[in-house]
Amino acid sequence: MTRRNLLKYLLGSTGLVYFLSRCAPPKKEYELEGVTDCADLTGLSEEELEKRKKLGYEASTPVSDNRCDNCQLYLPPTAERKCGGCQLFKGPVEAAAYCTYWAPRVANG
């Protein structure tokens, strides 16, 4: 095999691999819709679990006035979502939970 043919082969293979990787179905994002147990973290990646840990997430607050449901970053449950969420990480969030990035909710008006 000549150098030219080898380069064509390698570039062609790389291009094909790149093309096929672009055609692969997108990874499904973690969605809160359909989650019925707000303590169930089985759908989260190790990376997301580590992020929650680094942010100091605790399912029950150690500071009575600082709860997720009175935090500016909290995403409250909706008709489609039984569990709350957070703008900082994926996965369900208990209303009575807490993390070190708690920020008081600012009153509208």
Report how far residue 84's alpha carbon sits from residue 33's, in angstroms, rounded to the nearest whole number.
10
CB 35 within 8 A of CB 82: yes
Chain-centre distance for alpha carbon 70: 21
How many whole angstroms separate alpha carbon 96 and alpha carbon 109?
A: 25
Report the pLDDT averaged over residues 79-88.
91
Provide the pLDDT confidence category of residue 11 given band limits of 50, 70 and 90. Answer: low
**pTM of model > 0.75:** no
> Are 86 and 93 within 8 A, CB to CB?
yes
Number of Cα atoms under 13 Å in the Cβ half of residue 107: 1
What is the reported pLDDT for 15?
Answer: 53
Mean pLDDT across the chain, nearest whole number? 81
Whether 40 has a pLDDT exceeding 60, the answer reads yes
Averaged pLDDT for residues 1-12: 63
